[in-house]
Amino acid sequence: MSAPAFPFSAIVGHDQLRLALILCSVRPEIGGVLIRGEKGTAKSTAVRALAAVLTEVDAGARLVELPIGATEDRVVGSLDLQKVLRDGEHAFSPGLLARAHGGVLYVDEVNLLHDHLVDIMLDAAAMGRVHIERDGISHSHESRFVLIGTMNPEEGELRPQLLDRFGLTVDVHASRDVAVRSEVIRQRLAYEADPAGFAALHAGQDSELAARIAAARARVAAVVLPDAELNRIAALCAAFDVDGMRADLVVARTAVAHAAWRGAEVVEQQDIRVAAELALPHRRRRDPFDDPGLDPAQLDEALAAADPESGPEPEPEPDPPGGGEPSDGSPQSSAPQGTSSSAPRPAAPPSATFRTRALTVPGVGEGNPGRRSRARNRSGAVVGATDAPEQGHGLHLFATVLTAAGNRRLRPQPEDIRRAIRVGREGNLVIFVVDASGSMAARDRMSAVSGAALSLLRDAYQRRDKVAVITFRQDGARELLPPTTSAHIASRRLTRFDTGGTTPLAQGLLAARDVVVRERVRDRTRRPLVVVLTDGRATGGPDPLGRSRSAARRLVAEGAAAVVVDCETSYVRLGLAADLAENLEAPLLQLEQLRADYLAQAVRRAA
C-alpha cells in the first residue's frame, strides 16, 4: 500500500501558492495555476497534497499526471484499434483528459511539454469539454478539472501565448529565513519517519480545509460583483496594458472565488488585489527577455487610480529654473572615459534587436517538433505511409484500409496496419560562440554583435530551440550559459560578459565541440547548429591560426552544422572569417546580412 500524501495543512510557508491552488479548486473556470520555481521548493508536494484534500470534497476526484513524453493519442484518446480489428466496432478509447474529469490534471515540467499538447490541454481547461475529430472519429466528452503545471524557469520558458492561457501564476522560492527552513526540515523528517501517523496528525486540519472549499464552491455562484468593482478590474487591467480580455475575466473570476473563500457575499477591493497579484504578473511579459513579476507599489498606485471615488490627480510641480540642475548647484557628474585595452571590461549595451533571417541545419532530422529545420516527426504533414512502426507517427487510416483491401480482407489485420510518415520542422541545439576579444571590443562593434546575438536568440526562442552561449577571450573560452530553452536567462548572460584581450578562437570552437558531444548523450535526435560571431582573427600562443583550423575540423567531424557571421567592420578587410567558414564547411554571412529584410533592401538599392 502506498504512503499517504504529505498533508496540505503541514506545508510550511508558500502562502500565495496555497491560496492560488485553493481558489482554482473553488472555481476551476479560473484556468488553473502555473507554479514557477527552482528545484526543491515543494511544487509537486503541494499539488499532490491538494489532490488528497479534493478527494474529501468530491469522492470521484483523482490526480492524473500528464507525462512529458505523452503522445496526442494518449492525451485526447483515439480509435480503439483492438475493438476495430477484433470486433469490427468503430470505438473510441478515451485519454488522460477524460480520466481527469472532476479531479486534478498535473503536468510537471510543463515548459518541456510539446506546444501542441499544451494547446489541447489548455483548450480543454477553458471549455470544460474535449472535441476529437481525427482518424474517422467524431467524439466529444466533458473534461472539467483543476489544471496545475509546474516548471523550473532555468530549464526554459513557456511561449507568451501559452503562458497567458494559465489563469494564475505563482513564483515560489526557498525561504532564506533560518527558522522557516528549520521547520521545513522538521516537518519533512517527521513525515518520512511515519507517513501514516504524520498524515493522521494533520487529518483534522485537512478535513476542515476540504469542508471550507466545499462551502465556498456552494457559495461562489451567489457572490455579487458590483459594477463599481467590475469597472475597477477593467481600469486595473488597462493600466497594466495587458493584451486582450482574458486578464480581465480571470481577475474577475478569481476575485469572486476569493470573496466566496473568505465567506463574503460581495466582491471588495481586497479580493481584486489578491486576484491581480496572481493573474497579472505573467501577462505583463510582452517579450521573452522581460523580467516577470508585479511591483506591489505599482499595484497599489493602479488600484488607487482605479478607485471610482478618487478625485483627479494633482498637477505636477513645474521644473525649477536653471535647466534642471541639482538644487544644491553642484555640477552633474560624468562617467570616467576610457579603459585599458588589455583589461577586461563589460560588453557595450546591445544595439536594437531585429527580425533575423532563418538559419537551418541541412538535411532532414528526426528531432522534437519545433520551427527551424526539416524533420520527420509527429507534428509534420503526412507525406507517405510505412509498415515499420519505428519510422511512422500515428495511424495512416487510408493506407491501412487500402492494404487490407489489397490482401482481400474486409476487416484489417495487425499486419495491414500502416503508420503515417510526417515531415515538419524540428527544434535544434543552437550554440552561440561569441568572440569577446580585444579585436572585437570596440564599443560600436560589440554593441552590434550583442544586438545580433540577441536577435538570433529571440529567433531561437520562437523556433523552440535549445540554446547555449560560449564566449572566448584572453586565455580561453567560457561557457556563459549551458544548453537551455530559457531565452530570458540567456539574454541576461549575453549582455553581461567581459571583453578584451587576445583571441583564442580554437578554444571557443573546442568548447562548442564539447557541448555538442555532451548534449548528444542526452538527446541524440536534437541536431546542433553552431553560430560563430567573430572577425576570424586568432591570436595568442604558437600557431593560433593552425590550431583554429584544426579545431574547426574537429567540430565538423562531430556532425555539427555551422554558420559564421563575419563581424569585421574595418575598411580594409582581412577575410579571416572566410577562412574559418571554409574549414567549418559553413556559409559565411556579414553582420548586416542577418537581417530578414536584407535581400529586399539589396533589391531596392539595385533598383
Q: Matching CATH topology for 8-220 and 346-361+428-606?
A: yes
CA distance 19 to 409: 59
CA 553 to chain centre: 34
Supply φ then ψ for residue 363, to 5 degrees.
85, -170
The confidence band for 376, taking pLDDT boundaries of 50, 70 and 90, is confident
Non-local (6+) Cβ contacts of 558 within 8 A are 513, 516, 517, 520, 528
> Which are the catalytic amino acids?
246
Distance CA 268, CA 250 (A): 16
Distance CA 103, CA 57 (A): 10
Q: What is the topology classification, in CATH, of domain 8-220? A: Rossmann fold (3.40.50)
Which range has the worst mean pLDDT, 230-234, 359-363, 556-560, 576-580? 359-363
Is the distance from CB of 32 to CB of 147 less than 8 angstroms? yes
Closest residue by Cα to residue 266 from 233, 222, 303, 232: 222
Across the chain, mean pLDDT equals 82
* Band of pLDDT at residue 286, cut at 50, 70 and 90: low
Mean pLDDT over 473-482 rounds to: 88
pTM of model > 0.85: no
**Angle at alpha carbon of residue 480, lines to 476 and 483, rounded to 5°:** 120
Can you give the pLDDT at residue 9?
A: 92
Tell me the helices (H) and strands (E) count for the chain, helix number first.
Answer: 21, 19
Query: 221-286 sits in which CATH class?
Result: mainly alpha
Q: What is the pLDDT of residues 166-202, one digit of tens each?
A: 899 999 888 888 999 999 999 999 999 999 999 999 9
* Homologous superfamily of domain range 346-361+428-606: von Willebrand factor, type A domain (3.40.50.410)
- Provide the residue ranges of all domains of the chain, joining segments of one domain with +: 8-220, 221-286, 346-361+428-606, 377-425
What is the predicted pLDDT for the residue at 458? 82
* Confidence label for 328 from pLDDT (cuts 50, 70 and 90): very low
Contact 343, 502 (CB under 8 A): no
